[in-house]
Amino acid sequence: MKTSRKLMTLVLACLMVAGVLVGCGGSKGDTIKLGWMGSLTGEQAAYGICESQTLKMMVEEKNAQGGILGKQIELICYDTKGDAQEAVNVAKRLCAQDKVCAIIGPNASGQCIAIQSVLDQYKVPDLSTVATNEKVTVQDGKLKEYNFRVCFLDPQQGKIAGSFVYDELKFDKAAILYDINDDYAKGLKDNFIKVFTAKGGTIVAEEAYTGGDTDFTAQLTKIKEADPQIIFTPIFYQDFIMIHKQARTLGIELPMLGGDGCASQVLFDAADAVDGSYVINHVSLVDPAGDDFRKQYADKWNGAKMELNGYMAHDAFLLWCAAVEKAGKADPDAIAKAYCEVEVTGMAGKIKISATDHNPVGKSGCVEQIDGKNKTYKFITYIAAD
Amino acid sequence: MDLQYYLQQLVNGICLGGMYALMSVGYSLVYSIMSFSNFAHGGVIMVGAYVGFFALTALKVPFLVAFLLCGVGSGLLAVIIERLVYSPLRKRRAPSLYFIISAMGASIFLENFVIATIDGTPRNYPTLFSNSIKIGSLSLGLDSLLMIIVSAVSLFVLMIIIQKTKIGLAIRACSYNEKAGTLMGINSSLVIFVVFLMGGVLAGFAGMLYGMRFIVKPTIGQVTNKSFVAAVFGGLGSLPGAIVGSLLLGIMEIFVASINSSLRDLFVYALLILVLIIKPSGLMGKPVEDKA
């Protein structure tokens, strides 16, 4: 008995060592390593999965064409589980263990803000896809040296939302329902209120909930009482769906307006409830210019539908390629410098990163209406973000 | 803020409370016989929600069939958990703390089992009942109405079983004193089997109704924390107590949320602590101190 237990321990120890060795042995000679991190599980899994699949597809394509600087690209993807703490662990692993030359992702502001210290320590640049919070690139007036992004910012998104409701829909009474625990929601809400009230609109109800809540009937009944023309919901798609379902059963037939966190193909699972509502997005999901890209993605991944994140990951990858070529070497510092010097045309228009705040210049947002019957989006308008 | 507004909030509260009732009865049933809180109940509810989801989307069966499948699936699961996890402890006459720890373990196991085998992505039930009925300016969703009806009917059936049948008599006897019941010739294993089966079937119904109204994800078992609070509030071990406690908790929660939504959970858990300090037996429970 005793010997067999010892033997077992030995075998297990060997297996563990082997596991570590296998884990490290991923590098195949002389490659350029690109890291990606994001949610592959959890609430925002749909976003992260789409980002990583898009990158895998594009890296494969680029490698088939001969790679970059004559070398093959090696993409390393890790799951952050949508958790800021996990994002820090993953960033450390990418920088210290895998020694990547740059990171793309993660797909949420909270995680991007959390990994800053790791990026600064290892001097590896991160290019975020959809992190719209102001603090991702600049905090307390100080530029974060290694944080970049390819998307517009919350103040701009709040402005787009405010202008759209007041100028396009010509509504002057709006209600707000948001997650009080979420920085993204709060940022959007504040900026929406600023722009909307400056134009002459009134916020008739401002209701909050705590992330994880599933019953919104109390707040919705209050909102119904305040009689708004639209409900602004700067939240993520799962809550957006639940709020719609409950609003409809309470007899609230108002449209709602969600930010880019709501724009997901998953909305069509509840097509009847969300029909007629609007979402702000970085790029039109029904633009014919993206047809080839969507088809390529669907062919590669068993007919999977393209999420917004795929477009943004696409643009981030193009920018990274341009920066590596400009830098002439896969050196993290040189790539960070080159990010502000190159310009590419991606799915969401021209991308030129400003050296002063590491944000893209001259972006615009598009507003789309959900067509529940045909399970698609209807393009409404583009609104300049600046 | 007129009367209609308060009535609507009351309806919202009853809908929420009705769901808590369906969940909290499972806690009370097990507690009444085995004197421990079966925290694996949340996991059983979650699995029920998944069974219903896949029955509707993958097997494409009609609603009623899916609903019954949920009950069968969750009922079986509850019985399996009892046989695998609690039965060995029972044979060893382990203290109730061991049961509670095992129950928590089972609950975390179920959650992670679903994440590992299915995935962690939240899913949405297809819309089955999107209409709502209107009485004046009051609005009640068909899904909410269904939830109240199902809760009421299944709780009524449960009461009949417990009050009028032979096995119900055995359950009541064992809940009063298990040892004496066994001495009188009651097969306590059978009683425990039936109790877990009934609790599991109700958990399956609750899971499906929860999924239809809200969402399906591996962590929905955690919402049952509130139904546990409801069971304690009503008096653990008492079925009418669980139902009354749930309805009251649902209504109070909605009114607190309508004043300030961030006070909602604060209120619920403050209530739990207060009940345990002031009246541990709850509204209708047996006067027992050991309530965990």
Q: List, for residues A63-78, the tens digit of each pLDDT value.
A: 999 999 999 999 999 9
Residue-wise pLDDT for B211-264, tens only, equals 988 889 898 887 788 888 999 999 888 888 889 999 999 999 999 999 988 888
Mean pLDDT of chain B: 87
Residue-wise pLDDT for A176-223, tens only, equals 999 988 878 888 999 999 999 999 999 999 999 988 888 999 999 999
Report the CATH number that the domain containing residue A163 is assigned in CATH: 3.40.50.2300
Residues A126 and A111 grouped into a single domain: yes
Residues A267 and A204 grouped into a single domain: yes
Residue of A nearest to B14 (CA): A217
Do the domain assignments include residue A207?
yes
Record: contact B132-A272, CB cut-off 8 A: no
Closest CA to A195 of A262, A112, A129, A280: A280
Residues A373 and A243 grouped into a single domain: yes
Do the domain assignments include residue B250?
no
| Pairing status of strand A173-179 against strand A202-209 | parallel
Q: Name the residue among A209, A214, A269 with its Cβ closest to that of B261.
A: A209
Nearest-neighbour CA in chain B from A11: distance (Å): 25
Res B291 pLDDT > 90: no
Residues A187 and A251 grouped into a single domain: yes
Mean pLDDT of chain A: 89
* Positive or negative torsion for Cα B147, A179, B225, B66: positive
Residues A113 and A132 grouped into a single domain: yes
Do the domain assignments include residue B51?
yes
Query: What domain count does chain A have?
Result: 2
pLDDT on residue B132: 74
Model confidence band, residue B94 (pLDDT cutoffs 50, 70, 90) = confident
Whether the bond into A106 is cis, omega within 30 of 0 = yes
Query: What domain count does chain B have?
Result: 1
Res A18 pLDDT > 60: no
Residues of chain B found within 8 Å of residue A241, distances taken between Cβ atoms: 124, 215
Residues of chain B found within 8 Å of residue A218, distances taken between Cβ atoms: 9, 12, 254-255, 257-258, 261
Q: What letter represents residue B221's amino acid?
A: G
A269 touches chain B (CB under 8 A): yes
pLDDT on residue A97: 94
Bridge partners, residue A364, by sequence? A384
The neighbour count for residue A21, using CB atoms within 10 Å, is 9
Residues A293 and A275 grouped into a single domain: no
Do the domain assignments include residue B9?
yes
Closest CA to A128 of A153, A145, A110, A103: A103
Model confidence band, residue A125 (pLDDT cutoffs 50, 70, 90) = very high
DSSP state of A174: E
What are B118's two structure tokens? Answer: 């299915």
Tell me which residue range forms the domain holding B31.
Answer: 3-122+133-221
Residues of chain A found within 8 Å of residue B132, distances taken between Cβ atoms: 248-251
Nearest-neighbour CA in chain A from B265: distance (Å): 9
Do the domain assignments include residue A13?
no
DSSP assignment of B115-174 equals HHHT-S--B-PPPS---EEEETTEEEEHHHHHHHHHHHHHHHHHHHHHHHSHHHHHHHHH
- ipTM comes to 0.84
Tell me which residue range forms the domain holding A96.
Answer: 31-151+289-353
Contact assessment for residue A364 and residue A157, using Cβ atoms and an 8 Å cutoff: no
3-class SS at B283? coil
Residues of chain B found within 8 Å of residue A239, distances taken between Cβ atoms: none
Do the domain assignments include residue A168?
yes
* Segment A235-260 mean pLDDT: 91
Do the domain assignments include residue B278?
no
Do the domain assignments include residue A105?
yes
